[in-house]
Amino acid sequence: MSIRLGYQIPNFTYPGVAVEDLFGAVVAQAREAEAAGFDTVLVMDHFYQLPGIGAPENAMLEAYTTLGALASATSTIQLSTLVTGNTYRNPALLAKTVTTLDVVSKGRALLGIGAGWFEREHHDYGFEFGSFAQRFERLEEALTIIAPMLKGEPATFDGKWYTARGAMNNPRLRPAIPIMLGGSGEQKTFRLAARFADHMNIICDIADLPHKVAVLRRRCEEIGRDPATLATSYLVMGLVGDTEQELGELAQAVPEDRRNRVFLGTADQVAEQVHEKVLGAGIDGITINLIRNGHRPGAVERLGAALQPLVAA
């Protein structure tokens, strides 16, 4: 199981939608994505809204509670984070959480995971942030525990950051749950992906994508892994509109530091850009969000109709 066409929901601030109706708007997007040919729906694992999308006090739903509820509201679409912040959870507990999601969803869970990066969340919630190097040390140790547990093997590990003593993980539904890493680090993230992951979601500027794909393949080859066994996808920030006025308004909302990661246009125009710049760079699949208008009925459906032919088997 990998992601060919994913729909990410990173924004829970919907004008005119009351808090009691908020999750209903999320369900509607997930069901629309499922019906439109998307194979995966993903949410962020954050506690505050991210810079560039909205203010930190804007609505942000906890990831695994949301995915567990979406499991009962959908029937075929895969469920994942993009990506779980490793620093927020004990690794054995995370393996248990994802495996429970897999059982609840009847085999539709993916574990998306990364090192964690949003320092304010760590500070405010009381999680240790640490240095860049420490966060990747922790991620490597966490994966050493998580990977066997997702295959039904007891995990025993005594590390600098984490310990597990024959940690078991039952019940399980499948022989293994896929692991997806998210990020763009060539020295650390890509090496961990080559060792542990089934899928790598690359997050970078569009212009850097061909280089990132080449480096990821080298990291696989360095340890004797066939690069073809590591599926890849790319995260697209979609600003999709139907009129020139709407597209102009969307363009004004793009922060300067995200302009090199945005695809702006009608659904068909965005699909053309994805075909040329993403799939043309050697990426297997895409995950796209509609940060400004995904909650509007029909928006996800129109986008799926344009994108689905690009990734059809």
User: pLDDT tens digits for 51-71?
Assistant: 888 999 999 999 999 999 999
Strands 163-167 and 155-158: antiparallel
Q: Tokens in use for 104?
A: 């609840």
Please tell me whether residue 111 adopts helix, strand or coil conformation. Answer: strand
pLDDT at residue 258 tops 80:
no
112 within 8 A of 150, measured Cβ to Cβ: no
CB atoms within 10 A of CB 156: 13
| Angstrom distance (rounded) from CA 124 to CA 189 | 26
CB atoms within 10 A of CB 171: 9
Contact residues for 89 (Cβ-Cβ < 8 A; gap 6+): 97
Q: Cα angle vertex 32, ends 26, 37, to 5°?
A: 130
User: pLDDT tens digits for 159-185?
Assistant: 999 999 999 999 999 999 999 999 999
DSSP 201-243: EE-S-GGGHHHHHHHHHHHHHHTT--GGGSEEEEEEEEEE-SS
Strands 84-85 and 111-114: parallel
User: In the chain, what percentage of residues exceed pLDDT 70?
Assistant: 99
192 within 8 A of 115, measured Cβ to Cβ: no
Residues pairing with 112 in the sheet: 180
- Model confidence pTM above 0.85: yes
Domains defined for the chain, CATH in brackets: 5-115+177-311 (3.20.20.30)
| Angstrom distance (rounded) from CA 7 to CA 3 | 10
Stretch 194-199: mean pLDDT: 98
- For 106: left if phi > 0, alpha if psi spans -120 to 50, otherwise beta; the answer is left
**Residue of 86, 109, 306 whose CA lies nearest to 192:** 86
The H or E element containing residue 103 is helix 91-104
Stretch 297-305: mean pLDDT: 97
Q: How confident is the model at residue 2 (pLDDT cuts 50, 70, 90)?
A: confident
> Cis peptide before 171, with omega less than 30 degrees from 0?
yes
Higher pLDDT, 113 or 1: 113
**Residue of 29, 23, 28 whose CA lies nearest to 9:** 29
| Angstrom distance (rounded) from CA 234 to CA 267 | 17
